[in-house]
Amino acid sequence: MYSEKVMDHFENPRNVGEIENANGIGQVGNPSCGDIMKIYLVVEDNIIKDIKFKTFGCGAAVATSSMVTELAKGKTLEEALELSNAAVAQALDGLPPKKMHCSNLAADALHAAIKDYQEKHKSA
């Protein structure tokens, strides 16, 4: 049912945890399935220097959270904003149709964290 990459990111998730001094935080949830994702960013010179996540949800939700952090780390904010739900699923070699909403949450959480950072750091 799940690809080897999905299973690897579920069993060995990357970038799990909280960043105490995060300068961008995004949280999204899906009430129909109960999944909740929170992403923490440290942005320096428009680059995502550190990124961590906390996810409450199914294996696919954990795997997509892990993958989106791997895809976004080291990217500019503009590059990270271009990461789509489809790109997250593709990077995991696909997800079952019933679990595609999990990849939507991962990209949405990343975008919410970036928007939070941008709101906090608007030029005066």
Confidence of residue 117 (pLDDT cuts 50, 70, 90): very high
Annotated catalytic, 102? yes
Annotated catalytic, 58? no
Which percentage of the chain shows pLDDT scores above 70?
A: 97
Catalytic residue among 7, 25, 33, 87: 33
Output the pLDDT for position 122: 83
Catalytic residue among 6, 80, 83, 102: 102
pLDDT score of 124 more than 70: no
Question: In whole angstroms, what is the distance from residue 51 CA to residue 69 CA?
Answer: 6
Strands of 35-44's sheet, edge to edge?
Answer: 24-30, 35-44, 47-56
69 and 59 Cβ atoms separated by less than 8 Å: no
Q: Which domains does the chain have, with CATH numbers?
A: 4-121 (3.90.1010.10)
Output the pLDDT for position 102: 67
pTM for the full predicted model = 0.92
Output the pLDDT for position 103: 66
In the chain, the amino acid numbered 122 is K
Output the pLDDT for position 116: 97
pLDDT score of 33 more than 80: no
In the chain, the amino acid numbered 90 is Q
Output the pLDDT for position 80: 97
Mean pLDDT of 118-122: 91
Residue 108, H or E segment? helix 100-120
Higher pLDDT, 32 or 112: 112
